[in-house]
Amino acid sequence: MTTTVITLLASLGLNPAGAILSEQEITDGFVSLFNGRDLSGWHITGGPDDSFGVRGGQLECTGSGEFPNWLRTDKTYENFVLRFDFKLPHYVESGLLIGAPLHGRASKVGMKIHLCDHIAKGSKTAYSGAILGVRPALTIATNHFDEWNSVEVEFDWPRLRVIINGKLAQDVDCEKDPVLRYRLRRGYLGLQDMGGPVAFRNLRIKELPSKHRWTSLFNGKNFDGWKIIGEATWDVTDGVIRAADGNGYLMTESSYQDFELHTLIKTSRHANGGIFFRWKSLVPQDRGYEIQIYNVPDGNNPTGSIYTRVRVDHVPVRDGEWFPMHIIVKGPKCVVRVNGEIVAVDEHLPLVRSGPICLQMHRRNAWIEFKEVRIRSLN
């Protein structure tokens, strides 16, 4: 379709992709996220097929799925400007998920921008524009229930701004926030099902340049770039590393000192293992530091513990389900996030040196799986 035709449609308040893009938005590089006819480009995640649908050119959440059901985009986004309208009845709430993963608590691994009607119960944490569990909204910005609200979300790391009906509802430097600074910067966009009907329209987005890069440590096919040590069995199936039956390690051939490491983990019941960093040798005192994998909350070092240094009491995961583990190491400081929660922090690691990353299996008659193992240098 020619630019002339697109411009003509825009002048009539229409465009071939379904959203109402102005001529300036088309010039600026905005594209539609919703075609007005069906859920092409979107996926219902965790709920029934009738939990989201299209009626009268609007994208609608019926509320039949309830939490943790959500509708996600077909692709992931890092930095962007997102614009859309939403409308909901009295006492119904929803949310915009950004940086959301396929596995784990989407609102904590990424973040949730709260959407609700104009009646705010309690504190500003209940207002539209609040970042769930982290930051309140700056003001009441939504209209009365059953009225349309316009939203613009600009996420250009580290700045996150939310404007609702022309009012600034959120403005935060994520790098300076002690919680948001560790949230995923790239992930799916999602519309949350919280058990009530919500309508959306005019969803359009402009992508902004990426600002950081991750390096995959695992090619999904074999152990190129790794060494196997010990008696445990290690294999690869369908892009997943599976460790089983014994004590052993899978060690990177490259070394790292300051980094972010992110991976997905799934365990059999009472499996035991870990992730080591700043490793030197198999000698116990030279193995650097271990982040424990052991989903037993009453153990000496449950999942997420910095072994023998910081014990985790709350284990926000379950055996048999994929969960994200995020490890941030910079100088003497280590932060461990499990399923979006900061579970352990140590600011006084005495060993600041480069060393391999090691995945550990440490129990017979059990297994641990890893996938999407990736790293980002902080040097």
Q: What are phi and psi of 159, to 5 degrees?
A: -90, 130
**pTM: predicted TM-score of the whole model, two decimal places:** 0.90
Give pLDDT, residue 3: 39
The residue assigned the tokens 């600002």 is: 211
The CATH fold assigned to 33-208 is Jelly Rolls (2.60.120)
Confidence band for 13, pLDDT divided at 50, 70 and 90: very low
Please write the tens of the pLDDT for every residue from 316-334: 999 999 999 999 999 999 9
Burial 278-304 (b: 16+ CB within 10 A, else e): bbeeeeeeebbbbbbbbbeeebebbbb
Q: Rounded CA gap, 363 and 246, in Å?
A: 5
**Is 274 within 8 Å of 293 (Cβ atoms)?**
yes
* Cβ within 8 Å of residue 27, ≥6 positions away: none
Does the structure show a pLDDT above 50 at 11?
A: no
Give pLDDT, residue 119: 64
Q: What average pLDDT does this structure show over 150-177?
A: 97
Q: Where are the alpha helices (DSSP H) in 121-218?
A: none
Percentage of the chain beyond pLDDT 70 is 93
Q: Rounded CA gap, 291 and 244, in Å?
A: 18
Q: Which residue has the higher pLDDT, 87 or 4?
A: 87
CATH of 215-377 among 2.60.120.560, 2.40.30.40, 3.30.360.10, 3.40.50.620 = 2.60.120.560
Confidence band for 123, pLDDT divided at 50, 70 and 90: low
Spans of all domains in the chain: 33-208, 215-377
Encoded tokens for 176: 């300076």
Give the CB-side neighbour count of residue 302, counting CA atoms within 13 A. Answer: 17
DSSP 359: E
Confidence band for 122, pLDDT divided at 50, 70 and 90: low
Does the structure show a pLDDT above 60 at 2?
A: no
